[in-house]
Amino acid sequence: MHILDAREVSKQFGGVKAIEGVSFRIGINSITSIIGPNGAGKTTLFNCLTGITPPSAGQIHFKGKDISALPPHRITHLGIARTFQNIRLFPEMTVIENVMVAQHCRIRYTLPGAIIRSGAFRSREAAIREKAYEFLELANLEAYAESHAGELPYGSQRRLEIARALATEPEILLLDEPTAGMNPSETRDVMSLIRKVQQLGKTIILIEHDMHLVMGISDWIVVLDHGVKIAEGTPVQVKNDPLVIEAYLGKETAH
Amino acid sequence: MILPAYLNTKIAKTVIAALLGAIMLLPFKGVLSSLILFAAIASVLTVISLSGKIRVPSAFSTIPAVIKRNKTCIALSLAGILAACPLVLNNYFIDVLIMAGIYSILAIGLNVIVGFTGLLNLGFAAFYACGAYTYALLNTKIGLGFWVCLPVSALLTSCAGFLLAVPALRLRGDYLAIVTLGFGEITRLILNNWDSLTHGPNGITGIEAPTIAGISLRDLHYYYYIVFGILAVSLLIIRRVEMSRFGRAWKAIKENEIAASTIGINTTKYKLFAFAFGSFWAGIAGMLFAAKMQFVSPESFTFMESVLILSMVILGGLGNTYGAVLGAFLLVMLPEALREMQLYRMLILGMGLVLLMRFRPQGLLGVK
């Protein structure tokens, strides 16, 4: 059962082909890693999947619906959330507000309702606050709820970004280098968080450079190089693929 | 902010707190009374700090925290003082206070656009003019009364904000600011040149003051209560919207637009909404202004007016609704207080703003 199906996705910036004809399928409730050397087009691919920069060609089907031309907020509504390589929190808002604002697309009350503090307003605000706390607990951040997001330590900011993405109640979670710049203990925290998220029934797509993490956690791996998919398969298959070894280590020359 | 050591001593804090109080009184009672108040605050704070029971609040760094702790108390005493003002003050002071009230409504409206959503608007006076002229024309040409026109001109101004935002929001940052500046100038020039409708630079005269149950509220002492009543309602509404999903969406857009869009916020829609909602209050303020002066002309709505309103928002602390009110009061009252200094007063005011931005760039009530 596939939840996401990318077909021949290409993205061009002027004359530069950032990704070209990339196709892959993502199984439901799986963890897929997208790997490749710097500049391979991994983040561009994420931007295409989430509508930040729509693909120049190709289609992306999410649960059978083509989402390749939709704006980011529509895609989030449908059930795809993401984090960013360079953390993009709302630093001046509190930690709990960061998570509450992400439930924006899951609640409805009217402007007059907010002004007169109607019953609907109060019950829904209370509900999202409670839910926000649950997501913070999942990410071990409940102690920081009232601090400003910008004041959190780096590793916690990464986890807050994941909590915020989860608060949009996605079916697929895209994580762009969630352990970049982390020490081994912070990396372990993030890994266990990713596993917890998988147990919640979510599908995860991961961009990651830490090969130890990638090989340990992934069900499937897609390898990009210079904007083209050069391999995909299970961790064992990919580890032994000559094209992958070449892309990472260079070609073996005759002595 | 970390204060230099010499400013962080108890004595310095006491002096600063006393100075702030004294400056506030200056426009009302003149130099002598201010000096007395200064001495009074300083001695009371000194006694308190010597008795060691209460820490003297650092006048700069803990203003938001102090206000948060004593919210109800401060709100009630302020309301009491403001309600009592017309009983003791003469027309001149009431006039100044009414202008401060009108500018407060303008500033909290602009704060929605610039402070919450982070969209720089340099043409806010155009919306102020829109509200004022809507009432002026509806009243003098068709004879509609104040209370009928209030929602009409607020909604019309809101529409104007929306219509400007539709094309303008394709632009970002500085470019958006230039477009709003252009819109402000265009509006003023239209008002100045459409003689048959607006009487050009001569303006429109004979605008009626509001009435309640057939009694005209022309007397400034009565009008004062209308302005401050409307200000109170505006504050309540804006604060409540700020603390709802709408306010959170605006703040998210300001802090990181891309992240806001990926958590499901339709950024274009909310930016349009911010423009329309912020302009709404300019419409109301414009009406209050027209009804107070009973006269409007284009020269009340120049670019300098837009800059003044923006200064109020920045002075009080971008994104802080109460800060915008404080900024409006200070920037309306300080020039009056410094009237004795004649030509030097704008110099002193300007210097004050420079110093404030140097030592407290986030504004008086800003949180950063």
Asked if B193 and B200 count as a contact pair (C-beta separation under 8 A), the reply is yes
Question: Which pLDDT does position B50 carry in this prediction?
Answer: 59
Overall average pLDDT of the B341-346 stretch: 71
Nearest CA in chain B to A101: B248
Instruction: State the pairing for strand pair B204-205/A228-233.
Output: unpaired
Mean pLDDT of chain B: 85
Among B240, B260, B263, beta carbon nearest to A115: B240
Q: Indicate the residue type of B167.
A: P
pLDDT tens-digit profile of B254-279? Answer: 999 999 999 999 999 999 999 999 99
Selected residue of A49, A74, A88, A101 to mutate for chain B interface (largest B Cβ count, 10 A): A101
**Distance (Å, whole) CA A226 – CA B228:** 65
* Structure tokens belonging to residue B223: 């009008």
Q: Is A52 on the interface with B (CB under 8 A)?
A: yes
* Structure tokens belonging to residue B81: 């003082």
Letter string b/e over residues A17-28, b meaning 16 or more CB atoms within 10 A of that residue's CB: bbbbebebbbee
Alpha carbon distance, N-terminus to C-terminus of chain B: 9
Selected residue of A43, A52, A73, A175 to mutate for chain B interface (largest B Cβ count, 10 A): A73
B339, B335, B281: which is closest to B160 by C-alpha? B281
Question: B262 and A82: CB-CB below 8 Å?
Answer: yes
Instruction: List domains and CATH numbers for chain A.
Output: 1-79+173-255 (3.40.50.300), 90-169 (no CATH)
**Distance (Å, whole) CA B208 – CA B187:** 24
Among A97, A111, A168, beta carbon nearest to B248: A97
Q: Which residues pair with A205 in a beta bridge?
A: A32, A174
Question: Which pLDDT does position B25 carry in this prediction?
Answer: 62
Sequence-distant (≥ 6) Cβ neighbours of residue B146 within 8 angstroms:
B135, B139, B208, B209, B210, B211, B287, B291
Sequence-distant (≥ 6) Cβ neighbours of residue B301 within 8 angstroms:
B125, B126, B128, B129, B132, B184, B187, B188, B191
Band the pLDDT of B1: cuts 50, 70, 90: very low
Overall average pLDDT of the B104-115 stretch: 96
Question: A101 and B241: CB-CB below 8 Å?
Answer: no
**Distance (Å, whole) CA B338 – CA B336:** 5
Residue carrying structure tokens 């009108």 = B102
Nearest CA in chain B to A169: B263
Question: Which pLDDT does position B54 carry in this prediction?
Answer: 45
Band the pLDDT of B61: cuts 50, 70, 90: low
Tell me the angle at which helices B220-242 and B91-110 cross, rounded to the nearest 10 degrees: 20
Task: Kindly report the number of other CB atoms within 10 A of residue B19's CB atom.
Answer: 15
Nearest CA in chain B to A111: B241
Letter string b/e over residues A159-176, b meaning 16 or more CB atoms within 10 A of that residue's CB: bbbbbbbbbbbbbbbbbb
Asked if B139 and B145 count as a contact pair (C-beta separation under 8 A), the reply is yes
Question: Which pLDDT does position A108 carry in this prediction?
Answer: 83
CA gyration radius for chain A?
19
**Distance (Å, whole) CA B332 – CA B101:** 9
Report helix, strand or coil for B89.
Answer: coil
**Distance (Å, whole) CA B131 – CA B153:** 5
pLDDT tops 60 at residue B6? no
Question: Which pLDDT does position A211 carry in this prediction?
Answer: 87
Question: Which pLDDT does position B56 carry in this prediction?
Answer: 45
Overall average pLDDT of the B97-102 stretch: 96
Element (H, E) at B215: strand B215-216
pLDDT tens-digit profile of B178-230? Answer: 999 999 999 999 999 999 999 989 999 999 888 887 777 778 888 999 999 99
pLDDT tops 70 at residue B29? no
Question: B262 and A50: CB-CB below 8 Å?
Answer: yes
Question: Which pLDDT does position B135 carry in this prediction?
Answer: 95
**Distance (Å, whole) CA A177 – CA A40:** 14
Give the number of A-B residue pairs with CB atoms closer than 8 Å. Answer: 93
Question: B263 and A114: CB-CB below 8 Å?
Answer: no
Among B249, B262, B368, beta carbon nearest to A72: B262
Lowest mean pLDDT among B283-292, B321-330, B332-341: B332-341
Where does residue A143 rank: exposed (0-12), middle (13-18), buried (19+ CB within 10 A)?
exposed
SS3 string, chain A, reads CEEEEEEEEEEEECCEEEEEEEEEEEECCCEEEEECCCCCCHHHHHHHHCCCCCCCEEEEEECCEECCCCCHHHHHHHCEEECCCCCCCCCCCEHHHHHHHCCHHHCCCCHHHHHHCCHHHHHHHHHHHHHHHHHHHHCCCHHHCCCEHHHCCHHHHHHHHHHHHHHCCCCEEEEECCCCCCCHHHHHHHHHHHHHHHHCCCEEEEECCCHHHHHHHCCEEEEEECCEEEEEECHHHHHCCHHHHHHHHCCCCCC
Task: Kindly report the number of other CB atoms within 10 A of residue A241's CB atom.
Answer: 17
Q: How far is A236 from chain B (nearest CA, A)?
A: 34
**Distance (Å, whole) CA A154 – CA A143:** 16
Band the pLDDT of B53: cuts 50, 70, 90: very low
Q: Which residues pair with B280 in a beta bridge?
A: none
Q: Could you tell me the pTM of the whole model?
A: 0.84
**Distance (Å, whole) CA A117 – CA A130:** 18
Please state the φ and ψ torsions of residue B142, each to the nearest 5 degrees.
-105, -20
Task: Show contacts of B176-179: CB within 8 Å, 24+ apart.
Answer: B176/B119, B176/B120, B176/B121, B177/B120, B177/B121, B177/B122, B178/B122
Sequence-distant (≥ 6) Cβ neighbours of residue A124 within 8 angstroms:
A107, A108, A109
Asked if A54 and A47 count as a contact pair (C-beta separation under 8 A), the reply is no
Counting every residue written for chain A, the total comes to 255
Share of chain B above pLDDT 70, in %: 81
Cα atoms in the 13 Å half-sphere on the side-chain side of A107: 28
Report helix, strand or coil for B229.
Answer: helix
Report helix, strand or coil for B336.
Answer: helix
pLDDT tops 70 at residue B147? yes
Low-confidence ranges of chain A (pLDDT < 70): 252, 254-255
* Structure tokens belonging to residue A114: 């907010």
* Structure tokens belonging to residue A220: 């499937």
Cα atoms in the 13 Å half-sphere on the side-chain side of B161: 33
Among A88, A104, A115, beta carbon nearest to B245: A104
Q: How far is A119 from chain B (nearest CA, A)?
A: 13
